[in-house]
């Protein structure tokens, strides 16, 4: 990974037990390690330490949340809500938005 994330960036875990999950960057721990939180199973009091090579950076978080994270005044509920809204914006779709289902229905009768 050649780009370093900023505090408040939405990242996607590529490796480890938590692969496939989204987090927000809440701090740094050395030149190649970041601290991540998602507000649910990884609160701000117990952030996950992760190598930059195992992350994919998506986009910056909301400006007001980034400011609160930098001042250490953010809450876990705000982080969880922000991740949920950003992931929904990144992955629109489904049958509700007029897209065809990607699974064909097989009938066994």
Q: How many CB atoms lie within 10 A of CB 87?
A: 14
The answer on pLDDT for 107 being more than 50 is yes
At 97 the pLDDT is 58
| pLDDT tier, 1 (very low <50, low <70, confident <90, very high otherwise) | very low
Tokens of 55: 């992350």
| Arithmetic mean of pLDDT over the chain | 85
The DSSP secondary-structure symbol of 53 reads G
Among candidate residues 82, 58, 48, 53, the one with its CA nearest the CA of residue 68: 82
Q: CA distances (Å), 80 to each of 46, 85, 97, in order?
A: 14, 9, 24
* pTM of structure: 0.77
Q: In angstroms, how far is the first alpha carbon of the chain from the final one?
A: 52
The answer on pLDDT for 64 being more than 60 is yes
| pLDDT tier, 4 (very low <50, low <70, confident <90, very high otherwise) | confident
> Which of 15-19, 44-48, 97-101, 103-107 has the lowest average pLDDT?
97-101
Domains and CATH numbers, the chain: 9-91 (2.30.30.30)
């Amino acid at each position: 990974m050649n780009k370093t994330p900023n505090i408040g960036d939405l990242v996607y875990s590529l490796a480890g037990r938590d692969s496939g999950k989204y987090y927000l960057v809440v701090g740094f721990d050395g030149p190649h390690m970041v601290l991540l939180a998602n507000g649910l199973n990884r609160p701000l009091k117990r952030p996950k330490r992760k190598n930059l090579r195992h992350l994919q950076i998506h986009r910056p978080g909301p400006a007001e949340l980034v400011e609160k994270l930098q001042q250490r005044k953010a809450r876990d509920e705000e982080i969880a809500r922000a991740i949920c809204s950003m992931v929904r914006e990144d992955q629109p779709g489904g049958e509700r938005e007029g897209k065809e289902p990607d699974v064909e229905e097989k009938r066994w009768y």
